[in-house]
Amino acid sequence: MHDIATFEAHLARLDASLSQRGRRLFAGHGAPLTARAPGRLDVMGGFADYSGSLTLELPLAEAAFVSVQLNSGTDVRIVSAGFGPDAPPLRDVSLPAAELSRACRSYADAWAYFNRHPAQAWTAYVAGALAALRIEEDVELTSGLDILVCSNVPEGKGVSSSAAIEVASLRALAALGGVSLEPVQVALLCQRIENLIVGAPCGVMDQMTSSCGSADQLLPILCQPARLQPRLAIPNDLRIWGIDSNIRHQVSGAGYTDVRVAAFMGYSISAQRLGLPVRASERPGKVDIDDARYRGYLANVGVDLFEKKLANGLPERLSGAAFLEAHGGIVDPITNVVPGRTYRVRAATAHPIYEHARANEFRSLMQRGPGSAVGLRLGELMYQAHDSYDACGLGSAGTDRLVELVRAAGPARGLYGAKITGGGSGGTVAVLGAKEAAPAVLAVIEQYARETGFRPQLFSGSSCGAAEFGIARLEREGGTFRLRRGVPSRPRVANKR
């Protein structure tokens, strides 16, 4: 992992800069504990994770480092200092430890606390881990803390910068508190942080990849809710890249949320057509569905049943008000149907059903090993997935153009397929090609730069997830920092209540 040396050098420069203002890094007790968690490139499955799809994810070389240390003060100081080419300005926030501890008693209290000041809402991705540890592990903050976040996972590019920060923060703070968490447990807690504290209705694939991934291997996740499948080696004649469209992606944006709501509307309608018992819930706009067969996941319905019995009964578009009047509500606890909004129900319902089938075929083909015919079919599956995003309303001019450029280059240049990734509506495009096709990828980037005036970032490497990286100690040697991996940690900051 070449970013370790970059991280160490960045810390030395940052410490010198902060010292000029009398606020040097880590003046507290003992060597800080550090966790590292990568971003991810979504190859197949995408936003269908919340509908139970199989997803295939690649952990990126870009990652977030989070270092934590006990201090003798009464504040939790959070410094965010990214070291990527598009890193935002340094952010330095101090929160009263006692006030923060009170806010961590429930997810609702934590959400209200972190969202009261928009300029400080970003701290929820980091300090939200303190709430999860208190609520789920009965561990309470009892002292001041220094927390440093250094990430080169670019924000808003659809490569899961938020999950990388969440996973690294939870891993580091759990280690400092003497709490041992399994990799999947880390992912599920981080999803809860993003859903209930940050307020973004994401699925689980991002956090699972950041926590559980392995370098240069696809991580198959059956999102029901988070079942890891055997890791998948990329055939040695293929390679996967990511190209940034420069269109900012937000999982909390209306487009992503609307498509998620529409999929759950389609599930409610389909459940009634299939004769599943649907009961009104005590929660407004929600229903309970007894579904032992499909277990609440559209991905389990299957293409054949969908085409024969369900597709024609789903409206292409439906207002929230008409849906609520006719069907009562949805089962999703994270999102709500808005009466005054119109939803693309049929496309949003179809996507996870077909995407699950595509992801399973993609995995089976990759398991066969090398072969250009395999590459061609894999690429076609990616193009189909991209078109399905567009049908749901999650496309964008930039990502569509990148896919068009890849398609135009085609197999003659060694490029087999491309698709928008993650939650869509901008962000990054995943590209599949022959291992020697890097010049063709660079040509796509050059053409896109000529057309738009923006030179895209290329994602071309991979690295291990947070679980494989483990916990390291950050040691100061004069004016330099060194990260020492493999050193066991001891409880020093949090106590069981």
Active site residues per annotation: 206
Amino acid type, 192: R
CA pair distance 238, 485, nearest whole angstrom:
32
CA pair distance 251, 157, nearest whole angstrom:
11
- Six-digit token pair at 159? 């490569």
Tell me if 58 sits within 8 A of 240, measured CB to CB: yes
CA pair distance 354, 54, nearest whole angstrom:
11
The DSSP secondary structure of 178-229, one letter per residue, reads: T----HHHHHHHHHHIIIIII-----SHHHHHHHH--TTEEEEEETTTTEE-
Query: E-strand spans in 232-378?
Result: 232-233, 238-244, 278-280, 287-289, 318-319, 342-343
CA pair distance 7, 9, nearest whole angstrom:
6
Longest CA pairwise span in the chain (Å): 71
CA pair distance 157, 69, nearest whole angstrom:
30
Residue for token digits 């399905």?
388
Query: Going by DSSP bridges, is the β-strand pair 54-71/33-44 parallel, antiparallel, or unpaired?
Result: antiparallel
Integer angstrom CA distances of residue 39 from 164, 212, 213, 412, 468: 5, 12, 10, 31, 14
